[in-house]
Amino acid sequence: MREVCVVGVGMSEWGEVWKTSMRDLYVHAAMAAIKNSGVDHIDSMYVGCMSGGLFVGQEHLGALMADYLGVTGIPAVRVESACASGGFAFRQAFIEVASGMSDIVLASGVEKMTDCSPDEDTNALATAADAEYEVFHGATFPGLYAMMACAHMAKYGTTREMLSAVAVKNHKNGAKNPVAQYPFTVTSDQVASSVMVADPLRILDCSPITDGAAAVIVTTVDIARKLGKPYVKVKGSAAGTDTIALAQRADITTIKSATIAAQKALAMAGKKIDDIQFAEMHDCFTIAEIILAESIGKYKPGQAGPETLAGETSLEGKFPINSSGGLKSKGHPVGATGIAQIVEVYKQLTGQAESGRQIPKSPKIGMAQNMGGSGASSVVHILEVA
């Protein structure tokens, strides 16, 4: 395989973007990535999107976005793996460049979620769960993750204060992110006293409904050098799956698909988990970040909560998690989230994180972990300074 790198990144405005269409959000992010990279063409493109058909009534997104980006003629396809759609779009771009099929590929993601009513949003997101055995019986993702939280609390003694610490940390980071949907800080008491959604999860434990797009340029190291722009190498790429229904899992206090993906990505990169200096993780709910930090092998089961509470996952801690603000503060336009994680890792590794969000000690290697649903699919990438 050829050496692959990320050489340019771009994001649209994130949040409740009422006056901008899905296609315009996408083009804004894609054009920003193209300009940032300095490339004069792209050979192909992948568009991560969970459910454009349900959110805005639009499918056939590969062709649509190629059209409005002004690059008709090139191969363009939508990639779907629920909330991991963006991460898998990036993986497909990586494979295409690594294989030699293309030299310059646009990996991107987009979702326009706020044009729907709350009930329509809930129904669209629920399609990432098991329709017959979970959704039919009334399960929603807050409910599913609440069950995971209750199980983790019962098994390991995880506390309400530990869950709140995740939200407090990520909002502190997100307050420094210029594209964050919720760029404000919160206190532990505010999280713990916010509106209950599904016990023990409260509204400030949950990621929001978001409009937004993100894009990156994936190419070879040789081309990146010629462009003269900052770039980072993609050292590992791997994915895994698990049962889609929680009831069929042996243990709902861990996320097996993330474990599989992390182990394979680390092996591909020739790294150990302690070589990773920071990570962007899929904190769709505060309990998810805690479970994922354990599932990737960074912390032993039951230890991620206390370590978060102690500040070990803060920007100044030993293992920063979600310097971007994560899904919790930055937002979660489900098809774009995995790409935005790559954007953040790229910025941190090249020293370009804005507004005092740069991780101290100039990190050299980072991880992006993106997952779908309650963890039925997961994709992990390891990126390193060139």
**Cβ partners under 8 Å of residue 119, min gap 6:** none
- Tell me the percentage of the chain whose pLDDT exceeds 90: 99
In the block, tokens 């953040």 appear at 344
Same-domain status, 150 and 258:
yes
Q: Which of 152, 171, 332, 381 is catalytic?
A: 332
pLDDT in the model for residue 366? 98
pTM above 0.85, yes or no: yes
Same-domain status, 223 and 283:
no
**Cβ partners under 8 Å of residue 46, min gap 6:** 62, 76, 77, 78, 79, 89, 90, 92, 93, 105, 106, 107, 108
Q: Which of 83, 150, 206, 284 is catalytic?
A: 83
CATH code at position 329: 3.40.47.10
Same-domain status, 297 and 239:
yes
pLDDT in the model for residue 246? 97
Task: Report helix, strand or coil for 226.
Answer: helix
83 included as an active-site residue = yes
381 included as an active-site residue = no
pLDDT in the model for residue 180? 97
CA dist 8 and 290 (Å) reads 31
pLDDT digits (tens, 9 = 90+) for 250-304: 999 999 999 999 999 999 999 999 999 999 999 999 999 999 999 999 999 999 9
pLDDT in the model for residue 65? 98
pLDDT in the model for residue 386? 87
Contact criterion met (CB below 8 Å) for 150 and 168: no
Residue numbers of the chain with a pLDDT score lower than 50? none
Q: How many domains, in total, are found in the chain? A: 2
Same-domain status, 94 and 151:
no
Same-domain status, 307 and 284:
yes
Same-domain status, 226 and 339:
no
